[in-house]
Amino acid sequence: MSMRLNHITIVFSLVLAAGMAPVSCKKDDSKKLYGFSRIYMPQAINKSGGVNNNYPVPSGSDSSTYNYYLDTKSNRLNVILGATLSGPVSDAYSVGIKVDNDTIQQLFDSKVLDTALYKLMPAAMYTIPTTLDVSQGARSGSFDLGVDIGQLKSDAYVGKYLVLAVRLADPTKYVLNNALSVTIVILDVNALVIGPAVDITAQYVLNPGNPFIASVMNGSRWGTLQSWKANAAALSHGGYGGYSKDGDGQTMDLESGWGSPQILNGKLYQNISLPAGTYSFDPSGGSWKWQGTKDPCYVVVSTIADTLPDYSNILNNSAILYQQIAAPQKAITFQLNGTTSVTIGVVVNYVQDQQGIKSTKVSLYNYPKHL
């Protein structure tokens, strides 16, 4: 009985060893191919982070990260799009390219996109290829959505966003990742025509705020802004003015009423030297801390003097640039053909009681890449 059991054990061990032998010759698990090969558009996810398929243009801060390039010969702006292959293999493939206006219409109908601000890019404005071919081993390929710059600059699109859905279709090999096979291209017209913007405030503007600094104080609240010039009218708090320190922080402040006198033809400004280029100036810093003007007052940019014109000489003055103070504030955009002395600031004329403006910072932008 004991010898029989030993014989069975030996035979079983031999069989097990024989069965195991082929397994030991197979490829290591770490070298096996896993996953499924799917074709998708990287632009559908690399800006939205998977929240949606939106692809904003422009994007990036310098020439190495811009997601478009300019073709000056054809006067076209080319948005860079493409397809790539996930998974373990990388054979050659082709994929169709289509415009999907139904998807955009659904976004309009569901009010995801506000039709007052977002407009479908008209077919006459763009060109796009019908097919993308990707060679063996390449995995990815790119193509351009070409946009006519002349049409992009049309007055009808100022302040608007142009949208277009670009979809992959009918691959010759593999299958599509359906969720990522469409990209919603969103062109910010203003940012393309005069941008993207580079914040140069700290480089050129003295005492730009956040917080503002006073050179002298009249007690604990009112003061005079360091490095800014204020005329006598703006120094309305006992010979001090342009600055306050209160519950809103340390702000640029021109305020009358509540016991303070009127400010008639009050000026607060700074003279700076700028090289050739395109710029914008916004004394509200993007949003006034408080904007309570009742009488029309103005943000002003002047290149004709080292001061600002009187209040009575601003309206309809073609020698300067100006915008009425408002919330939200519209920045002043200006272009210089050479190094120029520029005066930036505000002019107010408070006749009615209890009004003023407060800002936590001013902003100066340059647009080194614009159409």
**From CA 150, how far away is CA 138, in angstroms rounded?**
35
Task: Read off the pLDDT of residues 164-197 as tens digits, 9 standing for 90 and up.
Answer: 999 999 999 999 999 999 999 999 998 898 877 8
Domain with CATH 2.60.40.1740 in the chain: 38-195
Task: Read off the pLDDT of residues 277-329 as tens digits, 9 standing for 90 and up.
Answer: 999 999 999 999 999 999 999 999 999 999 999 999 999 999 999 999 999 99
Closest to 115 in 3D by CA, of 126, 127, 107: 107
Q: Give me the pLDDT at residue 50, please.
A: 72
Contact 349, 266 (CB under 8 A): yes
Phi-psi bin for 318: left (phi > 0), alpha (psi -120 to 50), beta? alpha
Topology at the third CATH level for domain 199-366? Jelly Rolls (2.60.120)
Closest to 360 in 3D by CA, of 232, 205, 253, 215: 253
**From CA 289, how far away is CA 267, in angstroms rounded?**
19
In degrees and rounded to multiples of 5, residue 102 shows phi and psi of -65, -40
Amino acid identity of 62? D
Domain with CATH 2.60.120 in the chain: 199-366
Q: Give me the pLDDT at residue 30, please.
A: 41
What token pair was written down for 121?
């890019």
In degrees and rounded to multiples of 5, residue 31 shows phi and psi of -105, 0
Amino acid identity of 360? T
Q: Strand pairing partners for 224?
A: 216, 242
CATH number of 38-195: 2.60.40.1740
Q: Which helix (H) or strand (E) holds 21?
A: helix 2-24
Q: Give me the pLDDT at residue 48, please.
A: 77
Q: Give me the pLDDT at residue 62, please.
A: 57
Neighbours of 243 (CB within 10 A): 29
Closest to 142 in 3D by CA, of 211, 44, 41: 41
Q: What is the DSSP string of 143-202?
A: EEEEEEHHHHT-GGGTT-EEEEEEEEE--SSSEE-GGGSEEEEEEEHHHHHH-S-EE-HH
What residue has token string 């956040």?
210
**From CA 36, how far away is CA 230, in angstroms rounded?**
69
CA distances for 72 relative to 150, 186, 196, 301, 360, angstroms: 11, 22, 18, 31, 41
Q: Give me the pLDDT at residue 88, please.
A: 86
**From CA 293, how far away is CA 308, in angstroms rounded?**
19
284 secondary structure, DSSP code: T
pTM score of the predicted model: 0.62
CA distances for 354 relative to 210, 240, 292, angstroms: 25, 18, 8
CA distances for 348 relative to 229, 234, 258, 352, angstroms: 14, 9, 17, 12
Amino acid identity of 144? D
Identify the segments of the chain with pLDDT beneath 50: 1-27, 29-34
Phi-psi bin for 238: left (phi > 0), alpha (psi -120 to 50), beta? left
